[in-house]
């Protein structure tokens, strides 16, 4: 018939024949530069991971599997945040994507502090990682242990020079007067001493204008005071580092010309005497 267009068979490709799968659920664990995605969904169908690097975009495919289990996404960039999600497929029919999970890939070239000071530094980092305020600020999800493990990726133990590539909010723990605590080795653990804690946070866009400087500082002060307070309360519990005082010794102050606030606290740990 005039005006009709006829397409050859198969022009549009094969039509889906399967029933659309249910929406899968996922959890994600990070080790080094590899994210392991654990998938739970409909059985005997293909689950595919996709991910997106927040800083420079572009959706990538990270691997597939049939049925529930783990899919490893290797070779991710250090000091970068990613969104990962999974879509299930059954004979050409696709599920809705799972809820996306945000992960941060920590620096890969760091060296953990050694020697006696490392015991106190690591114990203090564990306490700060349990702060609910800090966990909420970085978007930690999952069980208590999963949220704590995720938070530890934002807490740095003075094992390299601070730089602008750190994802904020973040915390730096170091020996007073030095950011090179990894140079301390040998000897025995000192049962009391002092550590410095630097806390950084981006200023929300709504407070970045200079006329809102007081609001920006109050926003940051509420944040770091809550983090310190929540960590400090753990000192009274068995198995945690005993701290005697948490004193602000510098700041809070705006960092250079950037919309970032920073504060330094000196934490005295151990028993008196």
Pair 151, 92 in one domain: no
Which pTM was predicted? 0.60
Boundaries of domain holding 224: 116-269
Instruction: Confirm whether 123 is domain-assigned.
Output: yes
- What band does 80 get if pLDDT is binned at 50, 70 and 90? confident
CATH number, domain at 97? Answer: 2.60.40.10
Q: CA of 200: how far to CAs of 53, 174, 226, 262, in Å?
A: 23, 14, 13, 4
Task: Please identify, among 71, 105, 139, the residue that sits at the C-terminal boundary of a domain.
Answer: 105
Is 177 in a helix, a strand, or coil?
coil
Top-confidence range, 5-19, 222-236, 255-269: 222-236
- Per-residue pLDDT at 95: 94
Coil vs helix vs strand at 47 = strand
- Which pLDDT value is given to residue 174? 81
pLDDT band at 271 (very low <50, low <70, confident <90, very high): low
Instruction: Judge if 257 and 138 occupy the same domain.
Output: yes
Residues 137 and 197 in one domain: yes
Asked if residue 35 and residue 147 are part of one domain, the reply reads: no
Same domain flag for 167 and 91: no
Asked whether residue 76 falls in the same domain as residue 122, the answer is no
Is the pLDDT at 184 greater than 60? The verdict is no
pLDDT in tens, 89-139: 998 899 999 999 888 777 655 556 666 778 888 899 999 999 999 999 998
150, part of any domain: yes
Q: How many domains does the chain have?
A: 2
Average pLDDT over residues 147-156: 89
pLDDT of 266 higher than 50: yes
Closest to 183 measured CA to CA, from 88, 107, 105, 114: 114
Residue 40 and residue 83 share a domain:
yes
Q: Is residue 75 part of a domain?
A: yes
Q: Which of 105, 128, 151 is the last residue of a domain?
A: 105
């Amino acid at each position: 018939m005039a005006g009709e267009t006829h397409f050859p068979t198969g022009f549009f490709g094969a039509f889906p024949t399967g029933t659309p799968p249910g929406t899968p659920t996922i959890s994600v664990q990070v080790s080094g530069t590899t994210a392991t995605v654990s998938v739970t969904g409909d059985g005997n169908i293909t689950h595919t991971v996709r991910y997106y690097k927040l800083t420079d975009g572009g959706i990538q495919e990270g691997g597939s599997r049939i049925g529930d289990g783990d899919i490893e996404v290797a070779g991710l960039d250090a000091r970068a945040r990613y969104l990962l999600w999974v879509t299930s497929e059954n004979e050409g029919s696709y599920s809705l994507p799972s809820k996306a999970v945000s992960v941060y890939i920590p620096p890969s070239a760091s060296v953990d502090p050694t020697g006696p000071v490392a015991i106190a530094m690591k114990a203090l980092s564990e306490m700060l990682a349990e702060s609910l305020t800090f966990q909420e600020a970085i978007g930690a999800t999952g069980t208590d242990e999963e949220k704590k493990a995720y938070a530890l990726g934002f807490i740095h133990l003075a094992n390299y020079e601070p730089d602008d590539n750190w994802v904020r909010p973040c915390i730096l723990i170091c020996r007073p007067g030095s950011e090179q605590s990894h140079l301390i080795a040998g000897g025995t653990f000192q049962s009391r001493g002092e550590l410095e804690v630097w806390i950084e946070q981006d200023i929300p866009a709504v407070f970045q204008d200079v006329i809102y400087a007081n609001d920006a500082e109050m926003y940051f002060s509420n944040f770091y005071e809550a983090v310190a307070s929540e960590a400090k309360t753990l000192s009274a519990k068995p198995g945690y580092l005993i701290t005697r005082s948490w004193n602000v010794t510098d700041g809070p102050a705006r960092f250079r010309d950037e919309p970032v606030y920073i504060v330094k606290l000196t934490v005295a740990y151990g028993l008196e005497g």
